[in-house]
């Protein structure tokens, strides 16, 4: 089993002068430390306008800094938003290839379409068309890396024959993923040969009903890229400290704040009947229930991975048994102090990750 970190670059109010720059630089320090402690991946989101929840609107710039502070950790866009009003496909291909060069071939290319009305409406994007926009872009970007010259005439994007530079270090191109919030997206990921980034919080017991259809779909995959990336990454708010009481005291309020914010953001879909976003009402309900549930029960059922190293190992075992290949740990939640995040990374590297590496 592999392990990753996720960064939203978020910070709950109240704010203080200079907080935003501080969390950016703290995150860079945390990631460099995680590289030393044996984490396999770091994922950084792309979000816009989401006050407190995420201030990571230019992950390609941030990850460029990460590439120069690390040596072995895989560098993941989690994810690049592919509707062209967010990111022109040519610019995506150019930026991913540049980052792959700077990182000496460590890029993971995560894709998505966006999940909040605030972002979509802010960029003037029709929610009903985002799935088709994503599907078109995810098919042509790998071609831009492999074809020279490349030309295309499509529904949302067209270009005359041009040479697109640079090309990625990884041949034929970096591994490709998609963020999956709905059961249907798991199947669509498999059919396209994409890895799954399951960026929703829920019980590990719920995952097999999504992962098994993904495994079946990938058997009949017609890859959008040059190869199949059969991996499932699960995700949860994580904090590993020296004992359960301290971890719950520090991490518990942050986890509940995060799910409350998620419920509020997804709640913007309430009353809107948008093709492709029907399932978001269910996600809103689940997030609302999590934000009001008792922390002990949320840890016991594996919703959150918060506790001592022994407790975290027990929780992660649930994810492994569910079929997850990689656990993405979100430690930079709400207002968790920098020194606590560093300690959590240290304990993971010293006691949690080695347990699962030995088991393999």
pLDDT tens per residue across span 94-118? 999 999 999 999 999 999 999 899 9
Instruction: Please answer whether residues 240 and 333 qualify as being in contact, where contact means their C-beta atoms are separated by less than 8 angstroms.
Output: no
Reported as a pLDDT band with limits 50, 70 and 90, residue 359 is low
**Digit-coded pLDDT (tens) for 261-301:** 988 887 776 666 667 776 666 656 666 676 667 888 999 99
Cα gap 253→247, rounded to integer Å: 10
Q: Looking at 246-349, which runs of residues are DSSP E strands? A: 305-307, 326-330
Phi/psi class of residue 306: alpha, beta or left (left: φ > 0; alpha: ψ in -120 to 50)? beta
Q: Is the pTM of this model over 0.85?
A: yes
Cα gap 87→90, rounded to integer Å: 8
Helices (H) and strands (E) in the chain, counts: 13, 11
Q: Is 106 exposed, middle or buried (0-12, 13-18, 19+ CB in 10 A)?
A: buried
């Amino acid at each position: 089993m592999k392990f990753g970190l996720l960064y939203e670059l978020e910070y709950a109010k109240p704010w203080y002068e200079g907080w935003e720059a501080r969390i950016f630089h703290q995150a860079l320090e945390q990631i460099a430390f995680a590289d030393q402690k044996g984490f396999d991946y770091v994922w950084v989101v792309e979000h816009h306008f989401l006050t407190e929840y995420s201030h990571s609107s230019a992950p390609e710039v941030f990850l460029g800094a990460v590439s120069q502070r690390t040596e072995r950790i895989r560098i993941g866009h989690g994810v690049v938003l592919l509707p062209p009003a967010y990111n022109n496909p040519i610019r995506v291909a150019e930026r991913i290839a540049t980052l792959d060069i700077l990182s000496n071939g460590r890029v993971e290319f995560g894709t998505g379409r966006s999940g909040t009305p605030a972002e979509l409406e802010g960029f003037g994007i029709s929610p009903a068309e985002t799935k088709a926009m994503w599907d078109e872009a995810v098919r042509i970007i790998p071609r831009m890396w492999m074809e020279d010259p490349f030309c295309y005439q499509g529904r949302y994007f067209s270009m005359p024959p041009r040479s697109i530079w640079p090309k990625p270090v990884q041949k034929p191109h970096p591994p490709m993923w998609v963020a999956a919030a709905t059961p249907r997206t798991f199947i669509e990921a498999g059919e396209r040969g994409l890895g799954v980034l399951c960026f929703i919080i829920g019980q590990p017991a719920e995952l097999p009903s999504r992962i098994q259809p993904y495994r079946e779909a990938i058997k009949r995959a017609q890859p959008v890229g040059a190869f199949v990336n059969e991996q499932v990454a699960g995700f949860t708010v994580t904090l590993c400290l020296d004992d359960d009481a301290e971890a719950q005291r520090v991490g518990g309020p942050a986890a509940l704040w995060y799910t409350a914010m998620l419920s509020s953001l997804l709640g913007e879909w309430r009353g809107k009947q948008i093709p492709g976003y029907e399932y978001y009402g269910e996600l809103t309900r689940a997030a609302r229930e999590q934000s009001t549930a008792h922390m002990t029960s949320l840890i016991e059922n594996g919703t959150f991975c918060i506790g001592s190293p022994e407790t975290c190992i027990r929780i992660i075992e649930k994810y492994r048994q569910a079929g997850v290949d990689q656990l993405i740990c979100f430690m930079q939640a709400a207002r968790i102090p920098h020194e606590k995040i560093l300690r959590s990374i240290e304990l993971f590297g010293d006691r949690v990750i080695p347990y699962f590496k030995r088991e393999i």
